[in-house]
C-alpha cells in the first residue's frame, strides 16, 4: 500500500493505431514502487494492449515509456527494461518440460549460474507451495497448478514490477480464490509493484491500491478502488462497477448542498450541487438501499418510496430485488432478510436510501 513511493514507470502520450483505428490513447500513467494498480474494463477495451505496450512487447505508434526516469527506446535498453519486469498471461504458456525447468526458464535466459538458479527456483516454489511438484511435467498438472507455475516463473525473476493480464479469468472459482489469496500474500511479501488487468471488480478491489477503468482504449477514471466503486465518473464506469441504479432527472430544488431531482415524477434528494433546471445523472449502489415491509417503520433516510417487487433474482450468495417505485430500482438483499421479510413477486414494500448514498455523476444543461 503505497501512494507516494518513488516512480518506477511513467508513460506519456502513448497511442497505438491499428488499421487506422486508435486502439489505445493514454496521455499519462504512472506506477510507483510497491504499488498495485488494477486495470479494469470490459473485454476488448484495450487493457491487454496497454499491458503489452508498457512491457515493450508491442511497439506504440507514438509516446514514451520511462523507467526510473530513463527513456526506453530500442535495442539494448528494451532488453534491459524487459529484464526488470515479468509478465503473466491469461493462459499459463508453460514450456513442454518440468515445473522446475519452467520456473528456471527466465533465470537461465539471463545466464544465471546453475547453483543460483536451483536456489532461486526452489525458494520460489516454496513461496507458491509447489516445491513437491518440481519434477512433474508441466503438461500433466491442473489448470490452477499451471497458472501457479506461470506466476512462480514470473516471481522467480524477482522483478521490479509484474504485469498480469487477467491471470485468473480461465480458472474455476475456488482455484481462482486460492490463487488470488496467494498473489495478495506474495505481492505483499515481495513488495513487487504490479499492474493487473482484470474484468473482475472484486479481484481489483481486493488486490489493488489504485484502479484505472479502461474503456475504448482510454483511461476513463483512476483512483483508489473505494472511490471508483462509489463515485464513478460516468455512466460507463457506474455500470461497470456494479452501480445498477443509474438514474436521471431534472433538478427542481437546490439548497445547502442538497438537490431535489424529479425522476419520473418522484422527488429524489441527493448531496451535490447543481442549478435548478439542470439535467442530473446519478447513481445508488443496490447494497445501499434498505427494504422494509411497512411505511410506518422508522427510517432516517431522506428518500422513502413505496414499491412493488417486480422480480427476485438469485445471485448465488444473495438476491437482487427489481423494484418499481414509479422508477426502476434494484436493491440487494441477503437470503436471511429475504425469508424474514417474506419477499415475493408482487409484494408491496418500502425502499429507502440516504441522500448521501447517492452519487451525482454529472449535472448540467443538455
Partner 1 sequence: MELILEGIYKAFTLLVTLDPEVLNITFLSLKVSGTATLISLVLGISSGTLLALAEFPGKRLLVSIVNTGMGLPPVVVGLFVTIFLWRNGPFGFLDIMYTPTAMILAQAIIASPIVTGITLASIQNLPANLKLQILALGATRLQMVLILIREARLPLLAGVMAGFGGVISEVGASIMVGGNIKGYSRVLTTATVMETGRGNFDVAIALSVILLLLCFVINYILTRIQQRERPR
- The correct pick among 139, 185, 345, 348 for binding partner 1 (CB under 8 A) is 139
Question: Would you count residue 44 as binding partner 1 (CB under 8 A)?
Answer: no
Q: Quick one: CA dihedral 115, 121, 127, 129, positive or negative? A: negative
Of 86 and 307, which has the nearer Cβ to partner 1? 86
Q: In whole angstroms, what is the distance from residue 14 CA to residue 113 CA?
A: 38
Phi/psi at 77 (nearest 5 deg)?
-70, -30
**Which three cell numbers mark 243?**
452501480
Give residues 143-182 in contact with partner 1 (rule: CB under 8 A).
153, 157, 163
Question: Would you count residue 83 as binding partner 1 (CB under 8 A)?
Answer: yes
Q: Which helix (H) or strand (E) holds 359?
A: strand 358-364
Q: Which helix (H) or strand (E) holds 348?
A: strand 348-353
Contact 89, 143 (CB under 8 A): no
The least distance separating partner 1 from the CB of residue 153, rounded to whole angstroms, comes to 7
Of 53 and 248, which has the nearer Cβ to partner 1? 53
Of 84 and 347, which has the nearer Cβ to partner 1? 84
Of 65 and 254, which has the nearer Cβ to partner 1? 65
Q: In whole angstroms, what is the distance from residue 55 CA to residue 40 CA?
A: 18
Strand pairing class (85-88; 161-165):
parallel
# chain residues binding partner 1, by CB under 8 A? 24
Cell 501457479 belongs to 148
Question: Would you count residue 207 as binding partner 1 (CB under 8 A)?
Answer: no
Cell 508491442 belongs to 58
Question: Would you count residue 55 as binding partner 1 (CB under 8 A)?
Answer: yes
Question: Would you count residue 135 as binding partner 1 (CB under 8 A)?
Answer: no
Give me the count of residues in the chain: 366
Residues 6 or more apart from 173 whose CB is under 8 A from it?
A: none
Question: Would you count residue 86 as binding partner 1 (CB under 8 A)?
Answer: yes
Question: Would you count residue 46 as binding partner 1 (CB under 8 A)?
Answer: no
The least distance separating partner 1 from the CB of residue 60, rounded to whole angstroms, comes to 15
Of 117 and 363, which has the nearer Cβ to partner 1? 117
Hey, which residues does 250 pair with through a beta bridge?
262, 279
Q: Which helix (H) or strand (E) holds 36?
A: strand 36-40
Contact 39, 205 (CB under 8 A): no
The least distance separating partner 1 from the CB of residue 85, rounded to whole angstroms, comes to 7
Question: Would you count residue 47 as binding partner 1 (CB under 8 A)?
Answer: no
Q: In 3-state terms, what secondary structure has residue 228?
A: helix
Of 164, 175, 238, the residue nearest 201 (C-alpha): 238
Question: Would you count residue 313 as binding partner 1 (CB under 8 A)?
Answer: no
- The correct pick among 3, 18, 28, 79 for binding partner 1 (CB under 8 A) is 79
Contact 220, 236 (CB under 8 A): yes
- The correct pick among 11, 37, 65, 85 for binding partner 1 (CB under 8 A) is 85
Of 137 and 169, which has the nearer Cβ to partner 1? 137
Q: In whole angstroms, what is the distance from residue 341 CA to residue 349 CA?
A: 10
- The correct pick among 50, 105, 241, 351 for binding partner 1 (CB under 8 A) is 105
- The correct pick among 5, 63, 77, 89 for binding partner 1 (CB under 8 A) is 89
Question: Would you count residue 39 as binding partner 1 (CB under 8 A)?
Answer: no
Contact 279, 337 (CB under 8 A): no
Question: Would you count residue 133 as binding partner 1 (CB under 8 A)?
Answer: no
The least distance separating partner 1 from the CB of residue 110, rounded to whole angstroms, comes to 6
Q: Residues in the site for partner 1, rule: CB under 8 A?
A: 52, 55, 57, 79, 82-83, 85-87, 89, 91, 93, 95-96, 105-106, 109-110, 137, 139-140, 153, 157, 163
Amino acid at each position: 500500500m503505497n501512494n507516494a513511493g518513488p516512480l518506477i514507470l511513467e508513460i506519456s502520450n502513448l497511442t497505438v493505431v491499428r488499421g487506422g483505428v486508435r486502439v489505445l490513447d493514454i496521455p499519462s500513467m504512472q506506477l510507483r514502487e510497491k504499488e498495485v494498480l488494477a486495470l479494469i474494463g470490459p473485454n476488448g477495451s484495450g487493457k491487454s494492449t496497454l499491458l503489452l505496450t508498457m512491457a515493450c512487447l508491442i511497439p506504440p505508434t507514438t509516446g514514451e515509456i520511462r523507467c526510473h526516469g530513463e527513456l526506453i527506446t530500442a535495442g539494448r535498453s528494451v532488453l534491459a527494461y524487459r529484464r526488470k519486469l515479468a509478465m503473466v498471461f491469461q493462459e499459463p504458456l508453460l514450456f513442454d518440460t518440468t515445473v522446475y525447468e519452467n520456473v528456471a526458464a527466465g533465470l537461465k535466459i539471463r545466464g544465471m549460474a546453475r547453483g543460483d538458479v536451483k536456489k532461486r527456483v526452489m525458494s520460489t516454489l516454496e513461496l507458491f507451495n509447489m516445491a513437491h511438484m518440481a519434477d512433474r511435467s508441466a503438461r500433466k498438472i491442473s489448470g490452477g497448478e499451471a497458472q501457479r507455475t506461470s506466476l512462480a516463473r514470473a516471481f522467480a525473476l524477482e522483478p521490479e514490477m509484474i504485469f498480469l493480464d487477467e491471470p485468473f479469468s480461465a480458472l474455476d472459482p475456488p482455484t481462482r480464490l486460492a490463487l488470488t489469496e496467494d498473489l495478495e500474500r506474495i505481492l505483499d511479501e515481495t513488495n513487487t509493484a504490479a499492474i493487473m488487468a482484470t474484468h473482475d471488480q472484486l479481484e481489483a478491489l481486493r488486490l489493488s491500491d489504485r484502479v484505472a477503468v479502461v474503456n475504448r482504449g482510454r483511461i476513463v477514471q483512476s483512483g483508489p478502488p473505494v472511490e471508483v466503486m462509489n463515485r464513478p465518473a460516468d455512466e460507463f464506469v457506474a455500470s461497470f462497477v456494479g452501480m445498477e441504479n443509474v438514474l436521471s432527472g431534472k433538478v427542481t430544488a437546490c439548497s445547502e448542498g442538497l438537490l431535489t431531482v424529479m425522476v419520473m415524477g418522484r422527488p429524489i434528494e441527493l448531496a451535490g450541487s447543481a442549478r435548478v433546471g439542470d439535467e442530473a445523472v446519478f447513481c445508488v449502489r443496490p447494497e445501499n438501499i434498505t427494504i422494509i415491509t411497512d411505511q410506518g417503520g422508522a427510517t432516517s433516510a431522506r428518500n422513502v418510496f413505496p414499491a412493488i417487487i417486480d422480480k427476485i433474482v438469485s445471485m448465488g450468495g444473495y438476491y437482487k430485488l427489481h423494484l418499481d417505485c414509479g422508477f426502476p430500482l434494484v436493491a440487494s438483499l441477503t437470503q436471511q432478510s429475504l425469508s424474514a421479510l417474506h419477499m415475493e413477486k408482487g409484494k408491496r414494500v418500502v425502499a429507502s436510501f440516504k441522500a448521501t448514498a447517492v452519487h451525482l455523476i454529472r449535472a448540467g444543461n443538455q
